[in-house]
């Protein structure tokens, strides 16, 4: 068994040594694609806010002079946001990209990586922006549209969703709202609002009575954080017949309209993740700090201006995703 492990490690080391001494052939080169994939995992792991990025394609690559069997690659990568938040620490290949029903976000990352016996991210600079609403509507007229995170109805939807979660969860402590990360609106049987938000465990135990959980303080030390999706439907008068039918389905009796609305209007789903102590995070971090930033820009105007052409031969690479947008190519 030890012999097999030694052989496997030797083969991996030999692979990266070959990469560091070879001349790359462009954005389709397997070594370049591999470097981009690993670098993106390291970028996502280093970030504290936002959604995990997925690799759409390698747009450009520059191979700097080699020193002591080490290669410096400068990559430009096209990325798309996924539905996974960075607190999940998931690998980007396990996450689905946001489609037109969830307001896609696209961008690019300029990255420097060193390749020797492994791939090491040195620095990154990313810019991202939402797909313009006009592009989404032209491709999917009935899809939800983005809402301002500062809109009072968005805060109300998040708080109602969190209240429902605190009532229904089996966790021993209450959770509080940290921040809202996304909001959309769609007409169903009335204006329907969909929110995404981050919550954190507090010191307030659910066994305590007369606790105003909105005033509880986030728990220090090891604690749980959650990424939640919530929705709130406001019903118009024409929806009462539908509500009556739904109410009968809920209880098997003629439940009151208002009670049915209360049960149906708010839904929530949260994924919880244990957060390490600061010293544990420092112990797990490598000694070399990654320098990086993510800049969020407003949605572009249509038509989107042409990009600077790639400088490397055989670039850019092929896209991994097609979101079906007609007026913008990501």
Thinking of the domain 2-132, which architecture would CATH place it in? Answer: Roll (3.10)
Q: Pick from 181, 205, 207, 209: which is nearest to 195 by CA?
A: 181
Q: Give the per-residue pLDDT at 70.
A: 82
Band of the pLDDT at 39, cuts 50, 70, 90?
A: very high
Q: Give the per-residue pLDDT at 225.
A: 96
Say whether pLDDT at 155 is over 80. Answer: yes
Q: Pick from 293, 291, 294, 295: which is nearest to 122 by CA?
A: 291
d(CA 149, CA 290): 30
Instruction: State which fold the 140-275 domain adopts.
Output: Nuclear Transport Factor 2; Chain: A, (3.10.450)
Q: CATH 3.10.450.10 spans which residues of the chain?
A: 2-132, 140-275
What is the mean predicted confidence (pLDDT) over 29-57?
A: 97
Say whether pLDDT at 120 is over 90. Answer: yes
Burial of residue 262 (CB within 10 Å: 0-12, 13-18, 19+) is exposed
Say whether pLDDT at 3 is over 70. Answer: no
CB 113 within 8 A of CB 122: yes
Q: Which of the residue ranges 72-86, 95-109, 163-177, 225-239 would you say has the lowest mean pLDDT?
A: 225-239
In degrees rounded to 5, what are phi and psi of residue 192? -115, 135
Quick: pLDDT tens for 191-229.
899 999 999 999 999 998 888 988 999 998 888 999 999
Band of the pLDDT at 49, cuts 50, 70, 90?
A: very high
Say whether pLDDT at 115 is over 70. Answer: yes
Instruction: Return the bridge partners of 129, or none.
Output: 106, 297
């Amino acid at each position: 068994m030890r012999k097999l492990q030694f052989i496997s490690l030797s083969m991996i080391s030999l692979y990266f040594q070959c990469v560091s001494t070879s001349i790359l052939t462009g954005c389709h080169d397997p070594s370049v694609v591999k470097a981009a994939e690993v670098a993106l995992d390291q970028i996502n792991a280093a970030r504290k806010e936002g959604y995990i990025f997925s690799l759409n394609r390698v747009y450009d690559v520059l191979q700097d002079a080699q020193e002591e069997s080490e290669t410096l690659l400068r990559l430009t990568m096209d990325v798309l946001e996924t539905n996974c938040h960075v607190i999940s620490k998931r690998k980007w290949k396990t996450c689905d990209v946001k489609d037109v029903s969830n307001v896609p976000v696209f961008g690019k990352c300029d990255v420097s990586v060193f390749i020797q016996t492994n791939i090491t991210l040195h620095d990154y600079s990313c810019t991202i922006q939402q797909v313009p609403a006009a592009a989404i509507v032209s491709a999917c007229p009935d899809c939800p549209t983005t809402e301002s995170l500062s809109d009072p109805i968005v805060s109300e939807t998040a708080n109602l969703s969190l209240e429902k979660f605190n009532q229904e969860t089996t966790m021993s402590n209450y959770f509080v709202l940290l921040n809202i990360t996304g909001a959309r609106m769609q007409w169903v049987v009335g204006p329907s609002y969909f929110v995404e938000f981050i919550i954190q465990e507090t010191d307030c135990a659910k066994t305590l009575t007369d606790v105003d959980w909105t005033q509880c303080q986030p728990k220090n030390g090891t604690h749980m954080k959650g990424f939640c999706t919530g929705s709130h439907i406001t019903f118009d008068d024409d929806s009462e017949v539908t509500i009556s039918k739904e109410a009968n389905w809920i209880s098997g009796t003629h439940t009151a309209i208002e009670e049915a609305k209360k049960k149906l209007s708010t839904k929530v789903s949260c994924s919880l993740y244990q957060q390490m102590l600061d010293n544990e995070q420092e112990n797990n971090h490598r000694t070399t700090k990654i320098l990086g930033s993510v800049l969020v820009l407003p949605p572009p105007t249509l038509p989107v201006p042409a990009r600077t052409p790639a400088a490397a031969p055989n670039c850019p690479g092929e896209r991994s995703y097609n979101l079906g947008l007609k007026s913008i190519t990501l």
